[in-house]
Amino acid sequence: MSQPRRTIYLDHAATTPMHPDALAAMQPYFSEFYGNPSSIHGVGRRASVALAGARRTIAELLHAKPSEVIFTGCGTEGDNAALRGIALAHREATGAKRIITSAIEHHAVLTTAEDLRDHFGFDLTILPVNSAGVVPIEEVVTALGDGKDVAVVSVMYANNEIGAIQPIGEIGERCRALGVPFHTDAVQAAGKLPLNVAELPVDALSTSAHKFYGPKGAGFLYLRSGTPFQPFMTGGSHESNRRAGTENVPLIVGMAKAFEIVERERPQENARLRVLRDQLIGSILENVDGARLTGSATQRLDSHASFVISGVEAEGVLIALDLAGVAASSGSACTSGAQRPSHVLEALGVPARDAVGGLRLTLGHSNTPEDVAYVLQKLPQIVAQIKGAAPVML
Ligand code: PLP
């Protein structure tokens, strides 16, 4: 098979290209309708009408109230705002000072929880996962106890490295029964899983626009009415005193448009990508020497295929794929240029010698059956060549 004419992008969990309609929707708000939405004059009012419209669109798609949508700058900000804001406010009201989260959270949650432990006097309980990368509900029940000392529980909806979907409905129900606030990081779930908060028992849910074909630099935090919350961005009275700072109207308009599109297309797109994902998983497990699936085979995002390949280092595979015209990822954190075993693979019990061979292929709008066929032809050759040329020294 000859080199593809365009890059085959298989890193949609890292970021997505903007949907052209979302890009078009936001464009006038940079130049034509540039007003500050807090201004009284007509130029400002034009912006505040757009802001209110975007908030309404997102709220309707979530089955929430517009007042429950807070605009943020990214997923990391939403996670920080929720964790810090809820933990501090709930502790002030009740004295509860324990935070419960899982071992496979994104660093936006884990590092924030550690900061609250190390610098703000909270206790921290980290929930383990099973070998499929799913938090067992019994672990949540045990960790919660009677819930009286728990300030907040935060468990992600779907994992970014292994695509495993967490039982947030059950976790949320347990929390609700005990009066414990529950936050979920839905950054990887938005546009791929239902975010109907009339049915999901979540008090807070954070997202990031650039993961669902919206712009980088925008996100939203859903915060259920009545949830204890102390803003961590203080200043003006924007976002009803919950997130100070002039709202980024163009990006918010683009995000609302992108969210509308992904939600509308979700059932068909999931079904289409599931077929491609299953081809990737089936063929890679069969034809790539040493490949093993990471994360659940059944409870996983339709767009997500992830593996460890024993006997190779991810970097070599990714460079060879890149040279062959395929953009993929290891799915593991790369800290200061040095590949360190990912905390997620560690939590799954993957031995360090295999964890260096992580490979994540995440599908999206642009991917076709031809893309998948090309990767499935190239990858076994690449792995065989690397193994033949230089065995990994560990
Ligand atoms: N949470 C999860 C699960 C993610 O995958 C990411 C980004 O990769 C984030 C949070 C952070 O989002 P952002 O890049 O918008 O700050």
The tens-digit pLDDT sequence of the chain (394 residues) is: 677 778 999 999 999 999 999 999 999 999 999 999 999 999 999 999 999 999 999 999 999 999 999 999 999 999 999 999 999 999 999 999 999 999 999 999 999 999 999 999 999 999 999 999 999 999 999 999 999 999 999 999 999 999 999 999 999 999 999 999 999 999 999 999 999 999 999 999 999 999 999 999 999 999 999 999 999 999 999 999 999 999 999 999 999 999 999 999 999 999 999 999 999 999 999 999 999 999 999 999 999 999 999 999 999 999 999 999 999 999 854 434 455 779 999 999 999 888 889 999 999 999 999 999 999 999 999 999 999 865 544 4
Cα-to-centroid distance, 320 and ligand 1 (Å): 26
**pLDDT at residue 80 in the model:** 98
Number of helices (H), then strands (E), in the chain: 13, 14
d(CA 37, CA 49): 8
Q: CA 54 → CA 25, 57, 71, 182, 255, distances in Å? A: 11, 5, 10, 25, 8
**Nearest residue to 356 via CA among 342, 371, 376, 366:** 342
The rounded radius of gyration (Å) of the Cα atoms in the chain is 22
276 SS3 class? helix
Which residues are annotated as catalytic?
334
Cα-to-centroid distance, 206 and ligand 1 (Å): 9
Measured by CA distance, the residue closest to atom 5 of ligand 1 is 160
* Residues in the ligand 1 pocket, defined by CB under 6 Å: 74-76, 79, 106, 108, 156, 160, 185, 187-188, 208, 219
**pLDDT at residue 393 in the model:** 46
75 SS3 class? helix
Structure tokens at 240: 């009803």
Cα-to-centroid distance, 148 and ligand 1 (Å): 30
Cα-to-centroid distance, 280 and ligand 1 (Å): 24
**pLDDT at residue 336 in the model:** 40
Pocket residue to mutate for ligand 1, from 16, 76, 362, most atoms within 8 A of Cβ: 76
Residue in the block written with tokens 């669902």: 212
**pLDDT at residue 394 in the model:** 43
Indicate the angle between helix axes 314-323 and 369-389, nearest 10 degrees: 130
Ligand 1: atom nearest CA of 79 is: 10
Structure tokens at 95: 């004295």
pTM for the model stands at: 0.96
Question: What 8-state DSSP symbol labels residue 300?
Answer: B
Measured by CA distance, the residue closest to atom 13 of ligand 1 is 75
Pocket residue to mutate for ligand 1, from 15, 106, 161, 213, most atoms within 8 A of Cβ: 106
Structure tokens at 150: 């728990």
Q: CA 281 → CA 145, 226, 300, 305, 359, distances in Å? A: 39, 44, 12, 6, 11
Cα-to-centroid distance, 190 and ligand 1 (Å): 11
Structure tokens at 169: 């409905």
Ligand 1: atom nearest CA of 159 is: 3
**pLDDT at residue 4 in the model:** 77
Ligand 1: atom nearest CA of 74 is: 15
d(CA 75, CA 385): 39
CB 215 within 8 A of CB 251: yes
Ligand 1: atom nearest CA of 76 is: 16
